[in-house]
Amino acid sequence: MVDDFILRALAAGIGVALIAGPLGCFVVWRRMAYFGDSLAHSALLGIALGLLYGININLGTVIVCTVFALLLVWLQQRRVLATDTLLGILAHAALSIGMVALSFLNNVSFDLYSYLFGDILTVRISDLYWIYGGGLLVIGLLVFNWSSLTLMTLHEDLARAEGVNTVWANILLMLLMTIVVAVSIRIVGILLITSMLIIPAATARQLVSSPESMAIWAAVFGLIAVVAGISGSVEFDTPSGPSIVTAAAIIFALLSIVAAMRRRS
Amino acid sequence: MTELLSARQISVYRDGKTILEDVSLSIGEKDFITIIGPNGAGKSMLLKCMMGFYAPSKGEVVRRAGLKIGYVPQRLVADHTVPIRVRRFLTLRKRAPKDVLLNVARETAIEEILDHPIHVLSGGELQRVLLARALLDDPDLLVLDEPAQNLDVTGQLAFYKLIEKIYAERDVSILMVSHDLHLVMSSTREVVCLYHHICCHGEPNVVTRDPEFISLFGNDMARLMAVYNHSHDHNHNHDEASHPHDHSQSHTHEHLEKLDG
């Protein structure tokens, strides 16, 4: 007999893997890994605001991350500082402000560790609504804009010449990432969200020859990592986030060896 | 003549600098216009304004309703992290029936590489793939931004030959930015010489004798052009000889005629 909380965690993890895989392809292609990390750091401020003002934590995270992304776009347009510098400033400022805000909370039950590395015990039914609702939105927008986003990734001016609104498309990608960050916190934790985006996609890259199959295989590898990681987490009483990422890293390593051997033969 | 696309007295200012000043340019049917100019002269900006990427600070760009533009950028940096084959790249965002795709592939000599991943292609192959993509919608106007910039000399020659062939066989106008004026001389109908404003424009052999052209590119370039002009000009109209030539020019001239013969 499997416990309810494990089923909830599995359902949540599978949902996260299915969204993070395809979106992760764009993170890999467009070198947005650092952006993903920064976005996740700013999520701590969202959690703090959620707890302080009693609003839903997922909602708080989406709001803070969206503000973060728009602030970044605005600062980028001014072209005074490089993007990685801006990200460093914004991410660490948000993380620090989040920590300071959290220290004002007189809530003994608050467990920072579970937010940093994920904790499957904290997954509630309402989180599943967030994951699958947000997930459908992300997948829908991704599928609908797939060709435009892929073309823009290959050549921004070419996409523009053919009628793609590249400013809007860039903002769209950022907003999709904020949703993924918000819904992934319970499962993998703030510090490891980016790995759910990039490790499955990077694993898939070694096998495929089309952008579409990379997206599908990334979802599949993410799913395997989630199931293996959560099972391991339950079995050995390890934190869920690191367990899932460890599984994903092992799959990546195995596939890398297979791909290298195939290339040699 | 109906206008396909025209810039009417456009100016572009960025960060307190003048990129374009009062530029007017009109492209009609079956035109072949080559824009030349030094680096930083605003050539790419002019193309981008004409394609509608940016609104000019002053003036307007008028586009014929329903105009189909095919754009060929300077280069495609094929990123190995994106797995994509030529065939899929060509059909991203485009609905091309199989026979149209094959015809265009044959026209641009890429039918052999349709199933290759784009990151293994050579520079020349990539440019032909970009050209094929631009041709898929059967455009009224091809806009090319230094399309042979990153090719070696043989590659450049082959690419411009292909452009000439496409221009000859299709009902298409061409607007191109190119440094390789000597290679496109014979097919270009009009040369526009740009340095923030239009310095001079007209038929290639006229422009290369324009004092503005000479002041911008120097005497050597002008002489080089005059030579090419001549070697491509089958009328062999010798009234150039009546101009006061300096020694070096007639020298190169003779030298080239010998090579030609």
> Contact, B139 vs B68, CB < 8 A?
yes
Check: CB of residue A201 under 8 Å from CB of residue A132. no
From A28, which residue of chain B is nearest by alpha-carbon distance?
A: B81
The DSSP letter of residue B48 is H
Strand, helix or coil at A13? helix
pTM value is 0.86
State whether B93 and A162 contact (CB < 8 Å): yes
Determine the residue of chain A that is closest to B80 in CA distance: A29
| Block residue for tokens 């010449």 | A161
> A147 — contact with chain B (CB < 8 Å)?
yes
Assess A213–B contact: CB distance below 8 Å, yes or no.
Answer: yes
Q: Residue A113: pLDDT above 80?
A: yes
| % of residues, chain B, pLDDT over 90 | 51
Average pLDDT, chain B: 82
Mutate to test the interface with B, among A77, A210, A217, A263 (most CBs of B within 10 A): A210
Res. B226 pLDDT band, cuts 50 70 90:
low
Separation in Å, CA of A161 to nearest CA in chain B: 7
Burial B186-205 (b: 16+ CB within 10 A, else e): ebbbbbbbbbbebbbbbebb
Confidence of residue B203 (pLDDT cuts 50, 70, 90): confident
Q: Which of B81, B83, B93 sits opposite A210 (nearest CB)?
A: B83
State the DSSP code for B170. S
Contact A162 B89 (CB under 8 A): no
pLDDT of A140-181, one tens digit each?
999 999 999 999 999 999 999 998 999 899 999 999 999 999
- Find where tokens 């003036």 sit: B59
Percentage of chain B lying above the pLDDT 70 cut: 83
- Residue B51 C-beta-side C-alpha neighbours within 13 Å: 28
What beta strand segments (E) does chain B contain? 3-14, 17-28, 32-36, 58-63, 69-72, 141-145, 173-177, 190-195, 197-202
Percent of chain A with pLDDT over 70: 98
Comparing CA positions, the residue from B211, B212, B246, B252 lying closest to residue B228 is: B252
Is pLDDT at B162 greater than 70 in this prediction?
A: yes
> In the structure, what pLDDT confidence band is assigned to residue A206 with cuts at 50, 70 and 90?
very high
User: Tokens 């759910």 sit at which residue?
Assistant: A196
Closest residue on chain B to A204 (Cα): B83
Q: Is A66 helix (H, G, I), strand (E, B) or coil?
A: helix
Tell whether A112 lies on the interface with B, counting CB pairs under 8 A: no
The answer to whether the CB of A183 falls within 8 A of the CB of A130 is yes
Asked if A60 and A10 count as a contact pair (C-beta separation under 8 A), the reply is no
Q: Decide if B93 and A151 are in contact by the 8 Å CB cutoff.
A: yes
Question: What residues of chain B lie within 8 A of the CB of A159, using their CB?
Answer: 93
- Find the mean pLDDT for residues A129-150: 95
DSSP 8-state assignment for residue B64: -
pLDDT value of position B227: 55
Taking only the tens place, the pLDDT of each residue in B70-121 is 999 998 888 889 999 999 999 998 888 999 999 999 999 999 999 999 999 9
User: B196: which 2 tokens?
Assistant: 């923030």
How far is B144 from chain A, CA to nearest CA, in Å? 11
- The pLDDT mean for chain A works out to 91
